[in-house]
Amino acid sequence: MATEETLVLVKPDGVARGLTGAILARIESKGYSLVDLKLVEPDRDLLEQHYAEHAGKPFYEPLLDFMMSGPSVAIRLAGNRVIEGFRSLAGTTDPTTAAPGTIRGDFGRDWGLAVQQNLVHGSDSTESAQRELGIWFA
Ligand code: IDP
Ligand code: MG
């Protein structure tokens, strides 16, 4: 099987709370390879492409505002089965119920906002990974 790549983002809440290092440590400890990494302040156009599947949902506008509230760290991450492996490290979407031991479960909580601030993004399929890497690492 060819080595896979995924897009990981440390979202603005993770960067603002100083958790980038802790999150990168988990990724590196798991054994995945950092291929490229940069601090990005995405504009609305980039985020509309990235989150196209969520357009029209109640949390869509709050999500875009949140993602424009500060820089994110974008990571091109490689390894066999890294797409599902990073999603497993991240935990489920809602940080309140994400399993302890996961990034979202250990570092996240409900802040009473319209959008779940859940620290990280990870692509959910090979198609999404290729599409999203093209957007963030154009
Ligand atoms: P994922 O990041 O776990 O793949 P998605 O369903 O793709 O979750 O949603 C994208 C992002 O939108 C989530 O990470 C979260 O920040 C936000 N989000 C998703 N569902 C909700 C919701 O029901 N309420 C508030 N925010 C949400
Ligand atoms: Mg998703």
Maximum Cα–Cα distance across the chain: 43
pTM over 0.95: yes
Pocket of ligand 1 (CB under 6 A): 54, 59, 63, 93, 115-116, 118, 121, 124
Q: Among the options 26, 50, 104, 121, which is catalytic? A: 121
Q: Which atom of ligand 1 is nearest to the CA of 117?
A: 16
121 catalytic? Reply is: yes
Give the rounded distance of the alpha carbon of 69 from its chain centre.
15
pLDDT of residue 1: 58
Q: For 11-46, how does the pLDDT look when each residue is reduced to its tens digit (9 = 90+)?
A: 999 999 999 999 999 999 999 999 999 999 999 999
Residues 64-75, mean pLDDT to the nearest whole number:
98
99-108 contacts: CB < 8 A, separation 24 or more? 103/23, 103/26, 107/14, 107/17, 107/19, 107/22, 107/23
Give residue 122 CA to ligand 2 midpoint distance, Å: 7
Rounded CA-CA distance 90/104 in Å is 6
CATH ID of 3-136, from 3.30.70.360, 2.30.110.10, 3.40.50.620, 3.30.70.141: 3.30.70.141
